[in-house]
A and B are shown apart, each in its own frame.
Chain A
Amino acid sequence: MKRIAALPVLSLAGAAAMAAPFQNALKPAGIQAERIHDLWLLTVGICSVVFAAVLVALLLALSRAGRSDAATPPDVASLAAPEPRLKRNVLLAVGASIALLLVLIVADFQTDRLLGRMPLSDAVHIEVTAHQWWWEARYNDPEPGKIFTTANELHIPVGRPVIMTLKSSDVIHTFWLPNLHGKKDMIPGRTSLIRLRADQPGTYRGQCAEFCGLEHAMMAFLVTAEPNDRYEAWADAQRREASNVLSARESRGRQVFMERSCVMCHTVQGSGANAVFGPDLTHVASRQTLASGVLPNNRQQMAAWVTQPQKLKPGTNMPATKLSGEELEALLDYLGTLK
């Protein structure tokens, strides 16, 4: 009997362990998530002990009490006489509960204080603005020439603090990167702040965690934490404009980009396309995913996304663009140069 009961518990625990580690609150990869995880272990430990104690008490009560049926006369002695033994036991149990609660409250306050005291020197400043249903990220810098904008996929340096200013352009969204920190709401009309630091390199996935409309489920983002020199190299590459050295077909593709609907919403730095209502595409070819973490970034998916976005992400604001075969191939070539 016990083995049968153990099986589901073990398989579930196994299932949880098999859950992907890159969007997982139980696999902290940065100091803030680490602190939360420590508090989690303490709290779950205490709560499990309390749960077990209550269950044991209940089972003991059930096994020790006598049996009866509807005809058994009720025992009304307690209405007249007090029950000192029960009173003592109940008071002990309540006292223990209060003590444990106090421990948890103090531990929680301590964690809150630690979370607010992360060292912030040499921080990277990113301003993240959430849109329905994609993420815009602006890397700020005291030197204006070094500011750049990207979308949906961020890189951050390992070991350096990252200060993210969070805004929303339409409805409430939530920035949640479980491996690195808890979540923060992005509320239109307000600016919020999240401070985190990655301590282990890797690529982590985050997702919007406040219901924001039709495609809330498909609003993910990737954050790659890498050593500082690799990060700086990536940032320099992001600052560069799109290349003007293009083959004939790539030029034709850029022409399609400018003359059809792409230019109405997207920016490609250096090409004359400067609209801000869709993600910045200057370096789209260097991203791992398309459509805000939903599709793998390859030629076939890009073609599908441009021509039939509603099939892949129903409700998206990306319009379906009718292109002839030749136009589409040229456009894909051009987009492939935007590394």
Chain B
Amino acid sequence: MKTLLCLCCAALLSLSGCYREQRPLPGAPATASTPDPLRMTNLQPGEPKAQANPANPYEENAYAVSQGKRLFKQYNCNGCHASGGGDAGPPLMDDKWIYGHEPANIYASIVQGRPNGMPSFGGHVPEDQVWQLVAYIRSMSGQLRSDVAPARSDSLSPGKAEQRRERETPASVALPQSAK
């Protein structure tokens, strides 16, 4: 009787699985249908309209976030964003988000491009890779749980590993910055 109980528990445990560890990934998350064009301010004409703001399930998957980190380097995001510290482009590891901090906002920024130099990667980067990048970028400001966010990388160390960063409280700056 006791052994039967143990076996049942074991079987149940195995069904639950652990999304954090799943790899390779099945494909772009279901919520990754093209999001609504996102507003960048809280002002809007007419009746207030609820806005779809899907979460990015890749933020729960450590493999997806590590793929995002790899792609961040390979697609040369470092060229303007310098491992999150910012250079020609704004820093990504702080709490100031010009075009919104939600995953869908970041997705739109990457896909559509933004004024003052952010290229549009829409056609160039496949959809699920964009979501992996979004998950990684969110980890740079400590938004992800420490068991999902990447640990230190096998390279010269630019700073604390993403999983040990303090969680920033992101705030959208109300209006886009003007050109410097």
Q: Which residues of A contact B (CB under 8 A)?
A: 170, 188, 214, 259-261, 263-265, 275, 277, 310, 314-317, 319-322
Contacts and interface: CB of A to CB of B under 8 A. Distances in A.
B126 A319 contact: yes
28 contacts: A170-B154, A188-B154, A214-B24, A259-B123, A259-B124, A260-B123, A261-B123, A261-B124, A261-B125, A261-B126, A261-B129, A263-B124, A264-B74, A264-B125, A275-B74, A310-B24, A310-B27, A315-B24, A316-B24, A317-B67, A317-B70, A319-B126, A320-B27, A320-B126, A320-B128, A321-B126, A322-B126, A322-B127
Nearest to A259: B123
* Residue of B24, B70, B125, B129 with highest tally of chain A CB at under 10 A: B24
Given A315-B23, A320-B126, A321-B126, 6 more contacts: A261-B123, A263-B124, A264-B125, A277-B74, A314-B24, A320-B27
Contacts of B129: 261, 319
Contact of A264 (B27, B67, B70, B124): B124
Interface in B140-155: 154
Contact of A265 (B24, B27, B74, B127): B74
B122 to A, nearest CB: 10
Nearest to A321: B126
Interface of B: 23-24, 27, 67, 70, 74-75, 123-129, 154
A305 B126 CA distance: 15
Contacts of A264: 74-75, 124-125
A260 B128 CA distance: 14
Contacts of A316: 24
Contacts of A315: 23-24
A314 B23 CA distance: 9
A322 B28 CA distance: 12
A109 to B, nearest CB: 37
The list of the 10 closest CB pairs from A to B, nearest first, reads A315-B24, A319-B126, A277-B74, A264-B124, A261-B126, A259-B123, A314-B24, A261-B124, A319-B129, A260-B123
Contacts of A261: 123-126, 129
B128 A319 contact: yes
A260 B24 CA distance: 23
B81 to A, nearest CB: 17
Nearest to B25: A310
A211 B84 CA distance: 32
Contacts of A214: 23-24
A271 B112 CA distance: 25
A61 B126 CA distance: 72
Nearest to B26: A310
A76 to B, nearest CB: 48
Contacts of B126: 261, 319-322
A260 B127 CA distance: 11
A321 B128 CA distance: 10
A227 to B, nearest CB: 39
A135 B75 CA distance: 20
Contacts of A265: 74
A261 B70 CA distance: 16
A277 B67 CA distance: 13
A205 B56 CA distance: 42
